[in-house]
Chains A and B, each alone.
Chain A
Amino acid sequence: MADISRVADPLAMSKGEEPMQTVPHWREAWVHFRHSRIAVLALGVLLLLGFAALLAPWLAPYSPTEVSVMDVLQSPNALHWWGTDDLGRDVYSGALYGLRISMAVGLMAGLVAAILGTIIGALAGFLGGWVDALLMRITDFILTIPVLFLALVLIPVFGSSRLIVIFVIGGLAWPSIARLVRAEFLKLRSEAFVEAARGYGARRFKLIFSEILPNTFDLVLVSTALQVPAAILIEAGLSFLGVGDPEPRSLGLMLKDAYGLLGLAWWSAVFPGLVLSALAISLNLVADAFNDAVRGHE
């Protein structure tokens, strides 16, 4: 056949799509990210919350756990901006410290998930065959586990500590990361193998881990970012149910206490809940926009 379409297709017009994007640089992703006004706003909120969490000891006017019989159930006022709870604890200070815990647990659980996901995805994509089949079967299965429910059942059995909470949440959040890493491995492996086979066959292994793994970094980062808000909400939910982080003042615990004051002190529920929501919403919006920017979706 006289195929004259050897020249690279500049428009890929048959499908009406834009040219295939290669993995963009972060600079390009940032340009795309900036297009979404709501994502930029969310990033601002997130940075604000991050600073508030870091600087909590300096920003909080009171100790988060300080009980004061004189100040019980005060509505928001000049001394207690967000009011006090039934033990006289300052809600604003509590929320600031709670934010620290939420962020720490979320980020650590994300880290655990990223490490597990990368290792498992890389193994599946690199080894292929029955290892791949088995690992993917397990991955699919874990994706279907109701994490909060399982954590609720397991944590009292293993005892409650921050590490256990982090490992249970993170230990169940890796599947989507593993899938992405595996897919990227499969894609890049075929290309890398061709080159490796030409030169030094023995260097395949090194090539895979020096060439492919770094390339999956962007994907791991954005898909981990999507897992962090979920982890934060799960931790808060567990605390609300009484089995979360053992720290005496976390956002989930504050809400649990506030639930006991239903109708008595709206401020004890509204403010910590707003902080938690703002954190989860801004994280989701930012993660989402970065995911779009990096992976080039609509």
Chain B
Amino acid sequence: MSTVPRIVGTRLLQAVPLLIATVVVNFAIIHLAPGDPVTMMVGEGAVSADQMEALRESLGLNNPLHIQFLDYLTSVLQGDLGTSYVYHQPVSEIIASRIPATLLLMGSTYLLSTFLGLLFGIVAALRPSSLQDRVLMTIAILGYSVPTFWLGFIALMIFAVELGWLPISGMVESGLEPGSWEYWKSVLHHLVLPVAVLSLFYTGLIARLMRTSMLNSLRGDFIVTARAMGLSNWRIVLRHAVPNAITPIVTVLGLQIGLMLSGAVLTETVFGWPGLGVLTVQAVAQRDYPLLLGMFLLTSVMVIIANVLTDLVYLAINPRLRSNG
């Protein structure tokens, strides 16, 4: 098993060029971005040309490109992503303050949709072409075909506006003491609709995927062996078919974490959920480039980390990889 550290090392090393490429792309985008950063920062005609020049000099914008890149790289490595044009705060701080909300939304959705998706996929695959299979798979296709933002918005109209069962917007009622029982209850109340809507989408995707994988697994020769050895159907499904069906799709399941950011942006916008998605949409509307690029960088890093973590999980659950390298 001495190959494990080597594989882990290789995976981590492979992530480095990707990270560097991301930073380069990010730097390039800063320079491609329309408009003059200094003008953007202080506003059109707010200061004199001399002051602008001084500011430019102090920001290092007059240095040669490669010096600027090194400066940029240094500051990124130090966690300095610049200052928001709009909030006049460090980008890293603004982003950090929004992470918990998005993490809560995406985390709940991820757990729920993975659980339900795997379950539905298994149930459908156990009786292919049966009624239960067809019903589940039609729902699954509906789930990932109906636009989440529209569904969210219809759900809001029904459950929040018409029926008044659930809150319309936000993450928590104002005025509650953070950390108190009431506070968390309110958070949970606010979480129901966005998680339900976003989960429908991912549950559909995962259920389709799991069904296909499960059908393959059930066709496996080791299932014939298990049957011929007189194991019970439950045992065959749970101990043999399911693990062998999940293993090949772990990669995809892991990568959903990164992909969910797209869904989070729309869902957060519809439900006024104060996370990274709403922040990004606002930054787009206000052309707050430092904040946008900070988000871009953060997302790229997140995707890369999700890639590496997924590889490692795959390695952990698949004995074949561990010793073959």
B-binding segment of A61-69, A107-115, A212-220, A236-244: A236-244
The reply to whether B219 and A15 form a contact with Cβ atoms under 8 Å apart is yes
* CB pair A237 B157 closer than 8 Å: no
Binary flags per residue of B33-56, CB closer than 8 Å to A gives 1, else 0:
110000000000000000000000
A188 → chain B closest CB, angstroms: 23
Q: Tell me how far the C-beta of A156 lies from the nearest C-beta in chain B, rounded to whole angstroms.
A: 5
Residues of B within 8 A of A298 (CB): 128-129, 215
Task: Provide the B141-167 mask, 1 if CB < 8 A to any CB of A, else 0.
Answer: 110111111100110110001000000
**B29 adjacent to chain A (CB < 8 Å):** yes
Q: Which one of A16, A148, A233, A284 lies within 8 Å of B265 (CB-CB)?
A: A148
Q: How far is the CA of A150 from the CA of B146 in the complex (A)?
A: 21
Residues of B within 8 A of A269 (CB): 150, 153-154, 157
Contact A281 B145 (CB under 8 A): yes
State the CA gap A229–B307 with chains docked (Å): 26
Specify which chain A residues have a CB less than 8 angstroms from the CB of B293 in the assembled complex: 153
Task: Among A146, A242, A270, A273, point to the contact of B284 (Cβ < 8 A).
Answer: A242
Partner of B303, one of A17, A137, A144, A153: A144
**Could you give, for residues 122-155 of chain A, a 1 whenever the CB lies within 8 Å of some chain B CB and a 0 otherwise?**
0000000000000001001101111111101110
Interface pair A146/B33, CB less than 8 Å apart: no
Q: Mark B243-274, 1 if CB is under 8 A from A, else 0.
A: 00000000000010011111001100110000
Within 8 A of B (CB), among A133-182: 137, 140-141, 143-150, 152-154, 156-159
Give the total number of A-B pairs whose CB atoms are below 8 A apart.
133
Asked whether A280 lies within 8 Å of B147 as measured between CB atoms, the reply is yes
Q: What band does the interface of chain A fall in when counting residues whose beta carbon is under 8 Å from B?
A: 35 or more
In the complex, are the beta carbons of A240 and B161 less than 8 A apart? no
Give the interface SS of chain B, mostly helix, strand, loop or mixed.
Answer: helix
A145 near B285 with CB under 8 A, answer: no
A89 nearest CB across to chain B (Å) = 19
Measured CB to CB, the closest approach of chain A to B166, in angstroms, equals 14
Indicate if the CB atoms of B33 and A240 lie closer than 8 Å.
no
Is A255 part of the binding interface, using a Cβ–Cβ cutoff of 8 Å? yes
- Bound complex: CA A148 to CA B14 (Å): 25
Distance in angstroms between the alpha carbons of A255 and B215 in the assembled complex:
39
Asked whether, in the complex, the Cβ of B262 is within 8 Å of the Cβ of A147, the reply is yes
Inter-chain contacts of A270 with B (CB < 8 A): 154
In whole angstroms, how far apart are the Cα atoms of A255 and B255 in the complex? 29
Beta-carbon nearest neighbor of B169 in chain A: A262
Q: Smallest CB–CB gap between A288 and chain B, Å?
A: 7
CB <8 Å contact, B306 and A144 = yes
Q: Is A205 part of the binding interface, using a Cβ–Cβ cutoff of 8 Å?
A: no
> Which A residues touch B138, using CB under 8 A?
38
* CB neighbours of A120 from chain B (8 A): none
Which chain A residue lies CB-closest to B21? A141
Shortest distance in angstroms between A119's beta carbon and chain B's nearest beta carbon?
A: 21
Neighbour of A157 across the interface among B134, B258, B280, B289, CB < 8 A: B289
Asked if B241 is at the interface of the complex by the 8 Å CB criterion, the answer is: no
Residue of A with least CB distance to B257: A144
A152 to B292, CA, bound (A): 9
Contact indicator A259/B270 (Cβ below 8 Å): yes
Q: Cβ of A253 < 8 Å from any Cβ of B?
A: no
Query: A149 contacts B141, CB within 8 Å?
Result: no
Closest to A237 in B: B266
Closest 5 CB pairs of A and B: A148-B262, A273-B150, A146-B262, A281-B145, A280-B145
Extra inter-chain contacts (14) besides given A259-B153, A284-B141, CB under 8 Å:
A145-B258, A146-B258, A148-B265, A148-B266, A149-B280, A152-B265, A153-B299, A157-B289, A157-B292, A255-B149, A258-B153, A269-B150, A273-B153, A277-B145
| 17 contacts across the A-B interface (CB closer than 8 A) | A16-B219, A141-B18, A145-B259, A146-B299, A146-B303, A149-B299, A153-B284, A153-B292, A156-B292, A157-B32, A229-B145, A241-B281, A242-B281, A255-B150, A277-B150, A281-B141, A284-B141
